[in-house]
Amino acid sequence: MTAPQSTASFAAVAFNNVAHCFNHLLMLLYPTAVLAMGPSFGVGYADLIELATPGLVLYGIAALPAGWLGDRWSQPGMIGIGYLGSGAGALIVGFADTTFEIGLGLALLGLFAAIYHPVGIAWLVATSKNTGRALGINGIFGSIGVAAGPLLAGALAELWGWRAAFLVPGVASIAAGLALALMIRGALAAAPPASRRSGVDDRRPETLRALIALGLCVLGTGFVYSAASVAMPKIFSERLGEWGTNAMGIGVVVSVVYVVTAFSQVVGGWLTDNFTTKWVYVALQTVLAPVAVLVALSAGAPAVFLVFLMLSCNVAGGPAENTLIARWSPDRWLSVVYGVKFVLTLGISGMLVPPAIAYFERTQGRMDGLLYLIGGSALAAAAVAALLLPSVRSAPPAAATQAAE
For residue 58, the enclosing domain spans 3-388
Query: Is residue 397 included in any domain, yes or no?
Result: no
381 by Cβ neighbours in 10 Å (0-12 / 13-18 / 19+) ranks as: buried
Query: Is residue 158 included in any domain, yes or no?
Result: yes
Query: Is residue 28 included in any domain, yes or no?
Result: yes
SS3 22: helix
Those residues whose C-beta lies under 8 Å from the C-beta of residue 213, and which sit 6 or more positions away, are 384, 385, 388, 389
Query: Is residue 94 included in any domain, yes or no?
Result: yes
pLDDT of residue 257: 84
98 by Cβ neighbours in 10 Å (0-12 / 13-18 / 19+) ranks as: exposed
The 10 Å Cβ neighbour count of residue 157 is 25
Total domain count for the chain? 1
What whole-number distance in Å separates Cα of residue 77 and Cα of residue 247?
36
Residue-level pLDDT, tens digit, the chain, 405 residues? 555 556 666 777 788 888 999 999 999 899 889 888 888 888 888 889 889 888 988 887 888 888 888 777 877 888 889 999 999 999 999 999 999 999 999 999 999 999 998 888 878 766 766 665 677 778 888 888 887 888 899 889 888 999 999 999 999 999 988 877 776 565 554 444 444 444 455 556 778 888 889 999 999 998 998 888 888 888 888 887 666 556 677 877 887 887 788 888 878 878 887 888 899 999 999 999 999 999 999 888 888 899 999 999 998 888 788 878 878 877 667 777 888 888 887 767 767 888 888 899 888 888 899 999 999 999 999 999 999 988 654 344 333 343 333
Those residues whose C-beta lies under 8 Å from the C-beta of residue 34, and which sit 6 or more positions away, are 45, 48, 49, 52
Q: What is the pTM of this model?
A: 0.72
Those residues whose C-beta lies under 8 Å from the C-beta of residue 3, and which sit 6 or more positions away, are none
pLDDT of residue 56: 83
Phi and psi for 263 in degrees, rounded to 5? -70, -15
Residue (of 264, 263, 257, 313) closest to 286 by Cα position: 313
219 by Cβ neighbours in 10 Å (0-12 / 13-18 / 19+) ranks as: buried
Geometric angle at alpha carbon 207, from 265 and 329, rounded to 5°: 50
What whole-number distance in Å separates Cα of residue 151 and Cα of residue 160?
14
Question: String of b and e for 223-239 (b: at least 16 CB within 10 Å)?
Answer: bbbbbbbbbbbbbbbbb
Helix axes 368-388, 300-328, angle to 10 degrees: 30
Alpha helices by DSSP H, 275-405? 277-296, 300-328, 334-342, 349-363, 368-388
Query: Is residue 402 included in any domain, yes or no?
Result: no
Query: Is residue 153 included in any domain, yes or no?
Result: yes
Query: Is residue 7 included in any domain, yes or no?
Result: yes
SS3 405: coil
> What DSSP string describes 109-178?
HHHHHTTHHHHHHHHHHHH-SSHHHHHHHHHHHHHHHHHHHHHHHHHHHHHH-TTHHHHHHHHHHHHHHH
391 by Cβ neighbours in 10 Å (0-12 / 13-18 / 19+) ranks as: exposed
> What DSSP string describes 191-251?
PPPPP------TTSHHHHHHHHHHHHHHHHHHHHHHHHHHHHHHHHHHHSGGGGGSHHHHH
Helix axes 53-61, 205-239, angle to 10 degrees: 160
Residue (of 226, 221, 222, 231) closest to 366 by Cα position: 231
The 10 Å Cβ neighbour count of residue 241 is 10
Q: Report the chain's C-alpha Rg in angstroms.
A: 20
Those residues whose C-beta lies under 8 Å from the C-beta of residue 133, and which sit 6 or more positions away, are none
Query: Is residue 299 included in any domain, yes or no?
Result: yes
The 10 Å Cβ neighbour count of residue 394 is 8
Q: What is the CATH number of the domain that holds 329?
A: 1.20.1250.20
SS3 333: helix
What one-letter code names the amino acid at 262? A
385 contacts 282 by C-beta, under 8 angstroms: yes
